[in-house]
Each structure stands twice: as C-alpha cells, then as structure tokens.
Structure 1
Amino acid sequence: MLLQKFPYRMVPALPPKRMLGADREFIEARRRALKRFINLVARHPPFSEDVVLKLFLSFSGPDVQNKLKECAQCVGDEFMNCKLAARAKDFLPADIQTQFAISRELIRNIYNSFHKLRDRAERMVSRAIDNAADLLIFGKELSALGSDTTPLPSWATLNSGTWGSLKQALKGLSVEFALLADKAAQQGKQEENDVVEKLNLFLDLLQSYKETDLAAGGALAFWKSVSITCEVQGRPRSALVISPWVSGSADWHRDPLTARPGWLSWTLPSTNTESGVSGDLCERHEKGVLHKHQRALHKYSLMKRQLTSAAVQNREPESVEQLESRIVEQENVIQTMELRNYFSLYCLHQETQLVHVYLPLTSHILGAFVTSQIQGHKEMSKVWNDLQPKLQCLFAGPHGAPSPPRSPQDGLSPH
C-alpha cells in the first residue's frame, strides 16, 4: 500500500516470510527487521501523516487488513494528492542532474562502507558470544576435574596431598568462569542491540533510497532522450517541450527530407556504466514509469500517423476533428507524465536530505561501540583480578611458599 501511494519515496523493504521451517533465529531476525521497518516508516515525514499508517498503528480490531483496504480505496498516489505536484519544477535546483548523480554516487559509497561495518560488527558480536560459551565450558571442565572421585593409588601420588588440594581449588574456579562467560555474553548482546541493529536500521534506509533513485534515475535518463518531430496538416503548432534536458526543442516539420510527418521517436536509456544506468535500473523502471511513458508516447505516435493519413486521403472533417481531439487528450497525458517526472525528482531531492538527517546516527553507533568495549573490558578485568588470588594455592608448596612445577623425574628415587 505504501508503494502504491508513495511510489517516489523511500519505502523500506519488508523482511521475507517463511511458512515452514522457521527456527527461533529466523523469527528473531524477522522481529527485529519488522521493528526497524515500523521505526523508519513512522519517522518518515510524509508517511507519518498518512491516514493508512495511522490506522495501522492505532487499530486494535481483528480485521485490520480489510480496514486498511477500505481506507486506501479510491485514493490516488502522492502526486495526485500533493498540492505542490504541479509546481515541483519550481523547487528543483538548476543543476538537478549533476546533484542527483553526485548524491547517488555518494550514498552508494556510504551504503557499501556501512555494509562492511555491519558485517564486521556482526562478526565481533559472534566472537563475543562464542567467547562466552568457551569460558563457560572451560569453567565446567575445571569443576568436573575438581569433582572427580576416582581413587588414586599411593604409588602414583607418592603419599602427597597435592592432587587433593588441586581438586579443591579447581572446583571453586567454575563460579568465576561462569561470571566471565556472563560478562562476555552481556557485552555481545549489548553490541548487537546498540551497534548492529542501528547499522541495520541505517542500511535499510540506504537500501530503500537506492531502489528509489533507480526509479527516478530511469525517469531522468528517459526524458533526456525524448525527441518529437511531427506535422499536422501542414499547420505548425506550439512545440511540446518534454524535458529541460532535451537539446533544442520539438519542432513541427513539413520537409520530408528533414523529418517524417507524424513520426514520434525516442530512444531507451542505455545500460552502460557511463550513463549511470544499470541492468537493474532498466528492469525496475521499464515495469513502472518508463513502460507507461513508452505506451503513452507510442499511442501518441499512432494518432499522429492516423491524422496525417486522414489529411492525405481527404477524409471527412468529423473523423479528422475526432483524431485531433484524441491527440490533444494524449498530449495532456504526456504533459502529466512530465509533471510526474519533475515531482519524482522533487521527492528524490527531499529523500536525499532525509538520508543526510540520519547520517549523525554514525556518531551514536561509534559511541555505543566504544562504551560497550570499555564497560565490557572493565567488568571482565575486575573478575580476572578477583580470580587471581584464588590461584595462589595452586602454586603453594608444603609450607605455603610458592613452588615451581617439578618434572616427574624429580620425585623418583634411584634404585
């Protein structure tokens, strides 16, 4: 519904569903993604004022889907309801093409860098959780070693109580290692919530921008390539300027050597890297705005051909007037599409500004990461320091003095 009503805005993607085999990890990841989706949508200025979103956030009944459909019926998209849509061109800077290209490249670079940061942060969280599991198992093994009740023969211990003292000391160390494991797990959990989730939130926003600028970029490349050349019964008419980026203007020609009467031509945006248009862009845009533009312009071309043919064949004036009326209607359709193009660029301009509003989130992410590392290392350092005195008994000799480890041969008497 948001995509239908706001086709030129950043609409975050919903997380994928899995009907069968959804484990706990998948459910938790989807819950987090849905939370980010609601957060981004509710904070988006145009979305926050939409009646459909307000109904979704406030409705408490069981039939929310039908209520949303009823609320969205007979309601056009943002272009049809925005009072500024017809004047969107007036709010665009003169160098919108250059600014658009620079902004798209900048945000693409930001997205790639933040994607790598998120991956590294996830690995650090995973290592912290694995470290917690290893510390816990380490402590349990020490406890199991200290709780061993297997009797030892005197010939193995040489009548020494060292093993008994070691067992008693090892048995008590599991508490500290369990505490260390808990501290490591807390640090990993905190960084997952305060660092990884915020990075994912920003990445969701950037991803929705990338998809939005593909649509607007396709419109920009398309309208730059449009050119019109036609004639109506030899009478020149006012040129229809489709785009400010068209070199020259649309002219009506009568000379068959310079133009074909009634012929409308346009070229599709190329898919090379120099134009900044990728294959994904063509696929996305051809299914939407570009495809509609192509059909409208093709229909306009056919009408012009029919009118030229009718003039040559001296058909009845009524049929010629009817064709002219249809052509005027089609010109209005194309002019509306031109306004949509300007409005899409106007929305893209605003969405670019919104992305930059979110950029200070970077400092909060770094601050949360540094704070978590300081707090985690400080708490674990305290536990390690508390653990160290308990190890002194492991190195104590018969009279309480530290004794170095001895090799087994030191205790053997020669025969």
Structure 2
Amino acid sequence: MALAQQGKTIDEKLLDNYVNRVDKEFIEERRRSLKRYLLILCRHPTIYDAEIIKFFLTFQGTSCGDNMKATYKNVLDEFSSESQSSLNLNDNIDKCGEDYDSIRMFRASQTHISFLHQQLNQIRRCLKSINEKNFKNANDFANLGNNLQALASDSTSIDRWATGPNDYWPTIQIGLGSLPIEINAISERVNEQCKRNDEVINDHLDMLIELLQGYNDLCKRLEETLENERKAIQKANNQQRRSSTITDTTPKNDISLEILEKRNRHALQCVQIETQLVYANLEAFVYILSSLGNSQCKGSSDFFNIWKSFADEISRLGQTYITKSPIDRRDTTVYRK
C-alpha cells in the first residue's frame, strides 16, 4: 500500500508471498488460541459438561456463533437457575460480616493473581526473546557451514611466490570438507530445541497466562457489579429516609435489594471457585519450567557430543600436517611451482 501511494511499481509475487505468510501465521495463531481456550473450558470442573459447550464442540455447519445465540438466548443464568433452597441456605446468619470478609479476601487474591499475571508475562517475553535469538543462531550456524564448505571446495591455484615454503593451507583445505557436517548438525539441534521451547511457550505458558488474564477480566466485572450494588443500596436508603410515610413501593424496594444482595453473594461464591481453580492450575508452571529444563539438558548433551566431534576433527587436521613427511608436503598439487 505504501508503494502504491508513492506511485511505485509493486512486485506482485513478493506481495503474494508476504500476504500468504501473514495469513498462515494469523491462522496458526488463531488455531492455537482456540485450542487453548477449549482446553480451559473442557477442564473446568463446573462448566465442562454444560449444554452450550457440547453444542459448540458438536456443531457442524456455518455461523456457529449466531446459532449459539439463537439457541441459548433465553437460557437462565447460574443465579436464576439455582434452586431457592441453596440460595436461602444459612439466611439466618448475619451476612454482612461474611460478605465483608469475602470481599476483603477476594481483593487480596485479586492483587496477588494480578502480580502473578504480570510476572508470567515478563517470563514469556524473556523466553520468546531467548528463543528468537536461538533461531537466529541456528541460521548463523547454517551460514557458517556454507562458508566452510565454500573454503573446502575452492579450486584456486596458489603459487609458491605467495606461500614460500609454507604449505599449510592445502592440508587445512582437505580437512575442512568434513567440518560443515558438524556445523550443520549444530544448526539442526538448535532449531529442534527452539521448536521444543516454542511448543512449551505456546501450548502451556500461554494457556496459563490466558487463564490468569480471564480471571483478571472476571474480577473487573465483579468490581463493577459490587460498585453498582453499593450505589443502588445507597440510593434506596436515601429514598427511604426522605419518605415520611411507608408507601406501597417500599416492600418492592426491599425485595429488589434482597435479590440484588443474594445475586452478588452468589457471584462472590462463583468467583471464589474460579480463584481456587486458578491456584490449582498454577501447578502447570512447574511442568513448564521442568520441560524447559529438560529441553536445555537434551540440547546441551547433543551440543557437547557434536562440539567434541568437531574438536576431534580439528585436532586430526592439525596432526595430519605435523605427521606429513617433507616430501608429501612438497608434492602438494594445489601449488604451481
């Protein structure tokens, strides 16, 4: 688009390659995001067997979202579908102090989980940065192997005028032919390790971060609800104080406030379950760190063996020249005398 605005010619082939690459990356990222989202839903202890989840997983056709809205638009929410016996459970207990303690503990856990979310995001950025550098290192090793191969296959003839009695280069050149194999093996191992780490980050760390992000979003909605409840109760109390006599609307207001308080108490209970679910899922962080550690151990072991083989090749290369007889060195064919 920028080239078109400047009146310059657009390379359609280059543009197609760019668009296709972007589309593939976008589709792959969306696929991974959907997979993580479905895993979170299907592992949820309360909603994993909900009808709307089953509908989504078994739906075949187009416009899944529109069909879901049409099918479930009149379905009651959790509070409305809850039995009155469970909502009225322990109603004789003073709820004011209990609600205050629940809100206090909710806000404490909200602050802590928000902190965890920030730190895990930072860890993800660090791991992504390290992995991107390692991918670049893999390309650099591949280029290094190509350069060594070019040196080994060079057929330039060199005069004695340039080298004098020193014939070390042809001996080195012969030995260079086996080194690209080792260097390319390192490049392949680095790529394999990066892919393993990328899988851990995309499939496990991202899912944990999205779970924490979802919890933060839930907390914001609850905060807004609690604030609206506070304003509604305050407004109702002010209206009652201004009323000199009891009107017919007072019982209705009392009932509405009672339902509102019950609804928000139920919301707090649901958030408590979600909070416990978040802390239960934090065990995944141990698996993530363990997977990254095992990947590094495997990579280090592979790198050690390859670099050891590389060092042995270099050692043999130097020893070849040392053990070569003066006649053999003099008869090196790469030189013109």
- For residues 330-349 of structure 1, what are the alpha-carbon distances to aligned partners after superposition, in whole Å with 9 as ceiling and x for unaligned? 55444332222111111111
> Does 1:184 pair with 2:107?
no
The answer on whether the counterparts of 1:139 and 1:178 sit within 8 Å (CA) in structure 2 is: yes
Structure 2 counterpart of 1:57: 57
Return closer, same or farther for 1:112/1:398 CA change in 2, 3 Å cut-off. Answer: closer
Aligned residue identity for 2:286: S
SS in 1 for 2:118: helix
Q: Are residues 1:96 and 2:19 paired?
A: no
- Give the Cα separation in 2 of the matches to 1:400 and 1:21: 54
Matching residue's letter, 1:383: I
Give me the whole-angstrom Cα distance separating, in 1, the residues matched to 2:311 and 2:283. Answer: 43
- Does the C-alpha gap of structure 1 residues 221 and 229 become closer, same or farther in structure 2, counting only changes over 3 Å? closer
Aligned residue for 2:223?
Answer: 217
Match of 2:173 in 1: 167
Aligned-partner Cα distance in 1 for 2:183–2:20? 39
Contact 1:88 1:346 (C-alpha < 8 Å) held by counterparts:
no
**CA displacement, residues 75-128 of structure 1 (integer Å, 9 cap, x when unaligned):** 122222233773488698822122112111111111111111111111221122
The structure whose Rg is larger is: 1
Partners of 1:173 and 1:198 in 2: CA distance: 38
- Inter-CA distance 89–40: structure 2 relative to 1 (3 Å threshold): farther
Deviations 1:195-215 (A, max 9, x none): 453221111000010011112
Deviation at 1:39, TM superposition (A): 0.9
Distance apart, 1:26 and its partner CA: 3.0
Specify the code of the residue in structure 2 equivalent to 1:388.
A
Tell me the number of residue pairs that the alignment of Structure 1 and Structure 2 aligns. 298
Tell me how far apart the structure 2 counterparts of residues 223 and 159 of structure 1 sit (CA, whole Å).
95
1:76 aligns with 2:76: yes
* SS of the residue 1:46 aligns to: coil
How do residues 249-264 of structure 1 correspond to structure 2 at under 5 angstroms? 252-253=240-241, 260-261=242-243
Deviation at residue 216 of structure 1 after TM alignment: 1.4
Q: 1:162 to 1:367 in 2, by over 3 A?
A: same
Partner of 2:327: none
> Which residue in the other structure is 1:44 paired with?
44
Correspondence for 2:134: 128
Higher relative contact order (CA 8 A, sep 6+): 2
Whether contact under 8 Å (1:88, 1:342) holds in the other structure is: no
Is 1:338 the counterpart of 2:261? The answer is yes
Q: Distance in 1 between matches of 2:140 and 2:35?
A: 32
Kept after mapping to 2: 8 A contact 1:115/1:203 = yes
Within the candidate set 278, 292, 302, 1:379 is matched to 302
1:20 and 1:147 map into 2 onto residues whose CA distance is: 37
Q: Aligned-pair distance for 1:224?
A: 4.2
Counterpart CA distance in 2 for 1:66 and 1:215 is 24
Deviation at 1:178, TM superposition (A): 0.8
Moved >6 Å (runs of 4+): 88-93
Q: Output the amino acid matched with 1:359.
A: L
Q: Shift of the alpha carbon at 1:148?
A: 1.8
- In 1, the alpha carbon distance for the partners of 2:63 and 2:26 equals 26
CA apart distance, 1:129? 1.3
Q: Which amino acid aligns with 1:180?
A: I
Of 314, 327, 331, 1:391 maps to 314
Rate the CA distance shift 1:89–1:45 in 2: closer, same or farther, 3 A: farther
Answer whether contact 1:88 1:343 (CA < 8 A) is retained: no
Letter in 2 for 1:139: G
Asked if the contact 1:132–1:181 (Cα under 8 Å) also holds between the matched residues in 2, the reply is: yes
1:132, 1:182 within 8 Å by CA — same for their partners in 2? yes
What CA deviation, in whole Å up to 9, does each residue of 1:121-153 have, x standing for no partner?
Answer: 112211221221111111111111211223323
Given candidates 234, 248, 251, the residue that maps to 1:324 is: 248
- Unmatched segments (≥5 aa) in structure 2: 1-18, 325-337
Of residues 142, 151, 156, the one that matches 2:148 is 142
Partners of 1:192 and 1:21 lie apart in 2 by: 18
Please report how far the alpha carbon of residue 34 of structure 1 lies from its aligned counterpart in structure 2 after TM superposition.
1.6
Q: Which residue of 2 aligns with 1:27?
A: 27
Structure 1 pair 200–340 and aligned structure 2 pair: CA distance change class (3 A): same
TM-score (norm 2): 0.78
Query: Could you say what secondary structure the match of 2:76 adopts?
Result: coil
- The CA RMSD over aligned residues, in Å, is 3.0
Unpaired runs of 5+ residues, structure 1, are: 1-18, 232-251, 254-259, 263-307, 312-322, 402-415
State the identity %.
25
Which residues of 2 match residues 227-242 of structure 1 at below 5 A? Answer: 227=234, 228-229=236-237
Pairwise CA distance, 1:163: 2.5
Higher helix share: 2
Change (3 A) 1:365 1:397: closer
